[in-house]
A and B are shown apart, each in its own frame.
Chain A
Amino acid sequence: MPFIVAFVFAYILWLVLTAGTNGLLWSSQELIAGLIFAGIIGYATKDIVGEKSTRFLNPIRWLEWIAYAPVLFWGMVKANFHVAWLVITGRIRPGIVRVPVDLEEDAQYTILGNSITLTPGTLTIDACPEEKALYVHWIDIPKGMEKPESSEPVSGPFEKWARRLGK
């Protein structure tokens, strides 16, 4: 099964990169060459992607990723204007806070950590799944938020999304 997962994703990437070789579609040479190369990649990486990767073949999961994109983008827009204001005024209150989170899978930590880093103003420094916490550098800590109880003030709705997407 890990072979199939790696094969599918490698072939999708190949199709995206070679679209438009025959009209707006693919020429048959490209399709066959893609099958061969995706097969090689699938065979070479099947031990790295692991058994649990099959959960990413679920089409519902892909729809959830598409639904997550606007949420993440809106978070980036809001946070970018905040940081732009901080850059102009120079009034910052930086620090590294410990954010307790309630996640199990490594993939969930990756998604949440990357989302937190992508929204400006917060930067994940370390993820500690063993103590269920993220260490986040926060550029403008609101007063009284030095020890947040949950990830809500730091990342808004992202923890909920990360839990669902990485399950």
Chain B
Amino acid sequence: MSWVNYLIYAFLAVNITFNLLGSIALHRFPDVYTRLHGATKCTTFGTIFAVFAVAAHALYQLHVTGDAKYLQMTLHSFVALIALLLTNPVGAHAIAKAAHLSGYKPAKAVIDAYEEKLGGGKE
């Protein structure tokens, strides 16, 4: 067992912790917008660390064995990470905007500036 294994365990622990927090957020938060925060953001952060764990494992194996498939594993997981970082905010934004346009008001909101803008546009 080398120190790389402990690094991988640490990355996976962070990953699991934040994915778990995202799932708990789904239960605790009151409406679609606040749940989106938990469901998209916490899980993205967790998944970044899952990719780091894969990359750490693959780079270590590349160092030990010199097999090119581990280089591919590293690069492909980073491509997946970039795709995730680009698509995730767009998806969250689309869901939130669609929810607001379909009339779901944010629960317990102290201010809703978007409603004021839309209401001002209609009248």
Contacts and interface: CB of A to CB of B under 8 A. Distances in A.
Contact of B45 (A80, A93, A125, A128): A80
Nearest to B45: A80
A95 B112 contact: yes
A19 B93 contact: no
Contacts of A87: 21, 24-25, 28-29, 38, 42
Interface string A1-22: 0000000000001001101110
B63 interface: no
Contacts of B9: none
A16 B37 contact: no
A94 B33 contact: yes
B1 interface: no
A114 interface: yes
Interface of B is mostly: helix
Interface in B69-123: 69, 71-72, 75-76, 79, 85-86, 88-90, 92-93, 96-97, 100, 106-115, 117
Contact of A98 (B28, B37, B107, B117): B117
Most chain B CB within a 10 A radius of its CB, from A21, A120, A147 = A120
Contacts of A77: 45
Interface of A is mostly: mixed
A46 B18 CA distance: 40
A101 interface: no
Contacts of B79: 13, 16-17
A139 B37 contact: yes
A41 interface: no
B68 A94 contact: no
Contacts of B75: 16-17, 19-20
B42 A120 contact: yes
Given A20-B69, A95-B112, 4 more contacts: A17-B75, A84-B18, A88-B21, A128-B117
